[in-house]
Amino acid sequence: MRFYNTMTKQKEEFKPIVEGKVSMYACGPTVYDFFHIGNARSFVTFDMMRKYLEYKGYEVTYVQNFTDIDDKMINRANENGITVRELADQYIKEYFEDAESLGIKKATVHPRATDYIEEMIAFIRGLEEKGYTYVIDNDVYYDTEKFAPYGKLSGQNLEDLNVGSRIKADDRKKNPRDFVLWKGKKEGEPYWESPWGDGRPGWHLECSVMSTKLLGNTIDIHAGGIDLIFPHHENEIAQSEALCSCEFANYWLHVNFLNINNEKMSKSLGNFFTVREIREHYTGEEIRFFLLSAHYRNPVNFSDEMMAQAKSALNRLYNSLDNMKHLCDTAEEKPLSTEEEALLKRIEGYQKRFEEVMDDDFNTADAISVLFEIAKEANVNFTETSSKEVIEKTLKTYLLLANTLGFLTQKEEVLDEEIEALLRERAEARKNKNYKRSDEIRDYLKEKGILIEDTKTETRWKRIRT
């Protein structure tokens, strides 16, 4: 497998620290509100990477944090008249609801920043002992001058480095790019005791501390949106590498922006849609399909038209799945024909192609095309006279690959046997001219997304998704 590593600015062969295992950390949401579709692009991408690594046989330990203390959290809690903890609890719950609908599996650990205050204090202490900090009033700063490789991830000229978007310029600092490790308490803000007085941690610290604590000093993969390269990840590196005198992460993977009208979608710009809002019109799986339709390092533009396309494309994949299942149920067990053997060879080829494109820096756009190739083969070649084996094997590969991307996971609400039983009851009702009951059954099934079609000799059914 090869990934594009932001640190070296090239695709590199992936070599995990421990054979067969992967440690991965991704920067998660600040839980002051529902997350938007831009955040979703990052979370879905991290989840896709993890699922593909698991498909490859790696045992993945995946950590995604919740930032549950910062200015935005404090302001929103004050506006809502609740505590910061209550606000965090509420939006962590909402996070899991939306994430689940997007097919995002829970991380191995979802640490919350405020559960690691003690470790953060110990971390700052360690930096202090090594001479990387200075104190002004009750604030502790990281002295970037002391860390010679500062800027190595973002590749920026140190003279050009500006202060980060999240931190206002502060004249008291020795250098504008220095950042706060511990902020002295302000009136009305939550605080914790520390050797430097009451206060709270700076934002960058949490990821260094939780990554080290949960995954070790050096990890395989650190991921985030490209907006985090500077200053957030640069600062994480400065903190962690200064303390451990070792590499913080071997591969840095960054997800490009989701834009709206070609501008970054963000809460601060006010041009955002939350996943919760979009879910009123589209399923989580359709949203995921849209998000993975582009390679994660390319920008994507969000629009209703793109969403509608994603919906119809996913529907086509489901139609093939339903056809295959339907044919498989009735197919005869018999030896494979020569054509069927050739078809199975082609299916193996598609799986290989899927792996090739995913191995090449997670090219989900091309991986989705492979799913359509399989769907097309099935649509063109399978009939009532196909052997059970050819359909079963194709179906298995199709589902394995689709599920790896997080698609075709929708549970069927009505089981095939239930449908068959209802259709038998309906046939009986029609024979007895009980049209009320027969219409009831038709309507019930329609509501569940099952369309029935009466031919002269039989009643056929298929699943539809609207």
**C-alpha separations of 388 from 154, 282, 338, 348, 382 in Å:** 55, 34, 14, 17, 10
- Quick one: 15 exposed, middle or buried, by C-beta within 10 A (0-12, 13-18, 19+)? exposed
- Quick one: 360 exposed, middle or buried, by C-beta within 10 A (0-12, 13-18, 19+)? middle
Tokens of 44: 């879905």
Rounded CA-CA distance 107/221 in Å is 14
CB of 423 to ligand AMP, least distance (A): 47
Nearest Cα neighbor of 240 from 261, 217, 263, 260 is 217
User: Quick check: 49 binds Zn ion (CB under 5 A)?
Assistant: no
Query: Judged by CB under 6 A, which of 224, 231, 284, 406 binds ligand AMP?
Result: 224
Stretch that binds Zn ion, among 26-34, 73-81, 101-109, 369-377 (CB under 5 A): 26-34
- The site map against ligand AMP for 255-294 (x = CB under 6 A) is x-xx-----xxx----------------------------
207 makes contact, choosing from ligand AMP, Zn ion, none, with CB < 5 to 8 Å by partner type, with Zn ion
Which one, 27 or 367, has the nearer CB to Zn ion? 27
User: Quick check: 27 binds Zn ion (CB under 5 A)?
Assistant: yes
Nearest Cα neighbor of 371 from 390, 398, 394 is 398
User: Quick check: 207 binds Zn ion (CB under 5 A)?
Assistant: yes
CB of 302 to ligand AMP, least distance (A): 9
- The total of other beta-carbon atoms located within 10 Å of residue 71's CB is 15
Rounded CA-CA distance 52/48 in Å is 6
Amino acid occupying residue 202: G
112 makes contact, choosing from Zn ion, ligand AMP, none, with CB < 5 to 8 Å by partner type, with none
Which one, 23 or 404, has the nearer CB to Zn ion? 23
225 makes contact, choosing from ligand AMP, Zn ion, none, with CB < 5 to 8 Å by partner type, with ligand AMP
CB of 225 to ligand AMP, least distance (A): 2
Strands (E), 90-138: 133-136
Amino acid occupying residue 280: E
29 makes contact, choosing from Zn ion, ligand AMP, none, with CB < 5 to 8 Å by partner type, with ligand AMP
Stretch that binds Zn ion, among 78-86, 202-210, 270-278, 372-380 (CB under 5 A): 202-210
Tokens of 401: 């690959």
Stretch that binds ligand AMP, among 34-42, 77-85, 188-196, 448-456 (CB under 6 A): 34-42
Binders in 35-54 for ligand AMP, by CB under 6 A: 38-39, 41-42
Query: Judged by CB under 6 A, which of 199, 201, 225, 284 binds ligand AMP?
Result: 225
**C-alpha separations of 126 from 122, 123, 129, 132, 243 in Å:** 6, 5, 5, 9, 7
Binding site for ligand AMP (CB under 6 A): 27, 29-30, 38-39, 41-42, 67, 224-225, 227-228, 255, 257-258, 264-266
